[in-house]
Structure 1
Amino acid sequence: MPIRVPDQLPATDILRSESIFVMSETRASTQMIRPLRVLILNLMPKKIETETQFLRLLSNSPLQVDIELLRIDNRPSKNTPIEHLDNFYRQFEAVKERNFDGLIITGAPLGLVQFEDVIYWDHLKSIMSWAKEHVTSTLYVCWAAQAALKLLYDLPKKTRKEKLSGVYNHEIHNAYHPLLRGFDDNFLAPHSRYADFSAQYLSESTDLDILATSPEAGVYLASTPDKRNVFVTGHPEYESHTLHKEFIRDRGEGLQPTIPLNYYPEDNPDLEPSASWRSHGHLLFSNWLNYCVYQQTPYDLEQFSEENFTTNE
Structure 2
Amino acid sequence: MPINIPKDLPATDLLKKEKIFVMDESRSNQQDIRPLNIAILNLMPEKEKTEMQLLRLLGNTPLQVTVTFLHTATHISKNVSKSHLDTFYKTFNEVKEFRFDGLIITGAPVETLAFEEVDYWEEMKEILEWSKTNVTTTLHICWGAQAALYYHYGIDKYTLDQKCFGVFQHTVQESTAKLIRGFNDVFVAPHSRHTSVSVHAVEEHPNLSVLSKSEQAGLFIAISNDERMIMVTGHLEYDAETLSDEFKRDLARGNDIAIPSNYYPDDNPNNQPLNTWRSHTHLLFSNWLNYYVYQETPYEWA
TM category (shorter chain) comes to 0.7 to 0.9
What SS does the aligned partner of 2:136 have? strand
Q: Which residue of 1 aligns with 2:123?
A: 123
Cα shift readout 1:45-91 (whole Å, capped 9, x = no counterpart): 11111111111111111000100000011644321121111110001
Q: Which residue of 2 aligns with 1:155?
A: 155
Q: How does 1:123-272 map to 2 (within 5 A)?
A: 123-272=123-272
Q: Which residue of 2 aligns with 1:277?
A: 277
Cα shift readout 1:270-305 (whole Å, capped 9, x = no counterpart): 11111101110011000001111111111102x1xx
Cα distance in 1, alignment partners of residues 52 and 165 from structure 2: 22
Verify the 8 A CA contact 2:190 2:236 in the aligned structure 1.
yes
Q: Does 189-198 or 234-243 show the bigger shift?
A: 189-198
Cα distance in 2, alignment partners of residues 82 and 196 from structure 1: 32
Q: Which residue of 2 aligns with 1:13?
A: none
What SS does the aligned partner of 1:158 have? strand
Residue 196 of structure 1, CA deviation: 1.3
Identity %: 51
Verify the 8 A CA contact 2:106 2:144 in the aligned structure 1.
yes
What SS does the aligned partner of 2:197 have? coil
Residue 33 of structure 1, CA deviation: 7.0
Which blocks of at least 5 consecutive residues in structure 1 are unaligned? 1-31, 304-313
Q: Which residue of 1 aligns with 2:46?
A: 46
TM-score (norm 2): 0.87
Cα distance in 2, alignment partners of residues 146 and 206 from structure 1: 17
Which blocks of at least 5 consecutive residues in structure 2 are unaligned? 1-31
Q: Which residue of 2 aligns with 1:24?
A: none
Cα distance in 2, alignment partners of residues 52 and 144 from structure 1: 18
Alignment CA distance shift 1:185-1:85 (3 Å) = same
Residue 249 of structure 1, CA deviation: 1.1
Verify the 8 A CA contact 1:197 1:217 in the aligned structure 2.
no
Cα distance in 1, alignment partners of residues 180 and 104 from structure 2: 18
What SS does the aligned partner of 2:211 have? strand
Verify the 8 A CA contact 1:40 1:104 in the aligned structure 2.
yes
Matched, 1:297 2:294: no
What SS does the aligned partner of 2:122 have? helix
Cα distance in 2, alignment partners of residues 128 and 111 from structure 1: 17
Cα distance in 2, alignment partners of residues 33 and 183 from structure 1: 31
- Report the AA paired with residue 97 of structure 2: E
Cα shift readout 1:157-203 (whole Å, capped 9, x = no counterpart): 31212110000111101211100111111111000011213322211
- Report the AA paired with residue 199 of structure 1: V
Cα distance in 1, alignment partners of residues 223 and 248 from structure 2: 33
Verify the 8 A CA contact 2:40 2:70 in the aligned structure 1.
yes
Cα distance in 1, alignment partners of residues 51 and 63 from structure 2: 19
Alignment CA distance shift 1:81-1:150 (3 Å) = same
TM-score (norm 1): 0.84
Alignment CA distance shift 1:222-1:298 (3 Å) = same
Q: How does 1:15-164 map to 2 (within 5 A)?
A: 34-73=34-73, 75-164=75-164
Cα distance in 1, alignment partners of residues 35 and 258 from structure 2: 44
